[in-house]
């Protein structure tokens, strides 16, 4: 990949991010704490993805790639909140930030347990869960290495980051942003807004991995 091709990729990614921002900007969450906190987690995941692009584009590849782990876990957190979290966890994680609230929420399930809970939840969209699981299986070891200062960032710090690698990493970040936008639409309770997400998958194929188009899922009911 040439520097010019990489620059074109970055510009097209910025256009994708702008399209995502336009789509989610006016999406109020469906009434209820579950929908509000799930949507907020989706927005936070998008923020991490945009920040990863900015860091890699500014030649801070290691911290940029490290952010993908946070971007992914925040996305999974939002989907878990949408479909699988108990009402008790919704209340705990929706509370204003105080010392007591932080203590109450410190034992919230981590990534593996959230994925298991989503797998066991009958309302979880299967295609979405398959995408999350595939991404986790593919990137877990490398992203853990970046998060903990392991061999991947240490080796790359001396050998450098090929543009092709940077592009592939940021394509994954783009995919997570698109999935987070999908979550925001689901949490809004406005299924027609998913048309914009489907359009993104068509219009930005050059900066997205090939993934399945979003399912037509209204907000799930919870007892």
Q: What is the pLDDT of residues 17-56, one digit of tens each?
A: 999 999 999 899 999 999 999 999 999 999 999 999 999 9
Q: Distance between CA atoms of 22 and 19, rounded to whole angstroms? A: 5
User: In 3D, which of 174, 182, 176, 175 has the Cα closest to residue 83?
Assistant: 182
Q: What angle do CA 26, 78, 120 make, to 5 degrees?
A: 135
Regions in the chain scoring below 50 on pLDDT: 212-223
pLDDT of residue 211: 53
- Torsion sign (Cα): 158, 162, 166, 171: negative
Calpha distance 95→98 (Å, rounded): 8
Q: Record the tokens describing residue 170, joined without a space.
A: 């940021």
Q: How far is CA 202 from the centre of its chain?
A: 19
Residue 68's CB is within 10 A of a number of other CB atoms, namely 24
Which residues, 6+ apart, have CB-to-CB distance to 146 below 8 Å? 62, 65, 66, 68, 69, 152, 153
Query: What DSSP designation does 26 have?
Result: T
CB 55 within 8 A of CB 63: yes
pTM for the structure as a whole: 0.90
CB distance 213 to 65 below 8 Å: no
Using CA of residue 52, residue 94, residue 19, residue 179, what is the dihedral sign? positive
pLDDT at 102: 84
What is the H or E stretch that residue 186 is in? helix 163-188
Residue 217 is predicted with a pLDDT of: 47
SS3 217: coil
Determine the Cα–Cα distance for residues 83 and 100; give it in Å rounded to an integer. Answer: 26
d(CA 112, CA 40): 21
Question: Phi-psi category of 160—alpha, beta or left, where left has phi over 0 and alpha has psi -120 to 50?
Answer: left
């Amino acid at each position: 990949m040439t520097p010019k091709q990489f620059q074109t990729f970055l510009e097209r990614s910025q256009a994708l991010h702008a399209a995502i921002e336009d789509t989610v900007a006016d999406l109020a969450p469906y009434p209820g704490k579950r929908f509000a906190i799930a949507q907020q987690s989706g927005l936070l995941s998008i923020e991490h993805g945009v920040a990863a692009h900015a860091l890699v584009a500014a030649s801070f590849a290691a911290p940029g790639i490290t952010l993908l782990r946070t971007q992914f876990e925040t996305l999974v957190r939002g989907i878990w909140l949408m479909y699988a979290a108990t009402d008790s966890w919704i209340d705990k994680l929706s509370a204003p930030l105080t010392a007591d609230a932080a203590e109450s929420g410190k034992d919230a399930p981590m990534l593996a347990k959230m994925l298991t809970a989503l797998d066991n939840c009958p309302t979880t969209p299967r295609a979405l869960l398959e995408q999350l699981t595939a991404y986790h299986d593919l990137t877990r070891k490398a992203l853990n290495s970046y998060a903990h200062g392991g061999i991947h960032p240490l080796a790359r710090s001396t050998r450098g980051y090929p543009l092709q690698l940077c592009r592939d990493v940021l394509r994954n970040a783009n995919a997570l942003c698109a999935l987070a936008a999908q979550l925001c639409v689901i949490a809004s309770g406005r299924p027609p807004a998913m048309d914009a997400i489907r359009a993104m998958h068509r219009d930005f194929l050059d900066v997205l991995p090939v993934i399945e188009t979003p399912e037509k899922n209204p907000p799930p009911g919870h007892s």
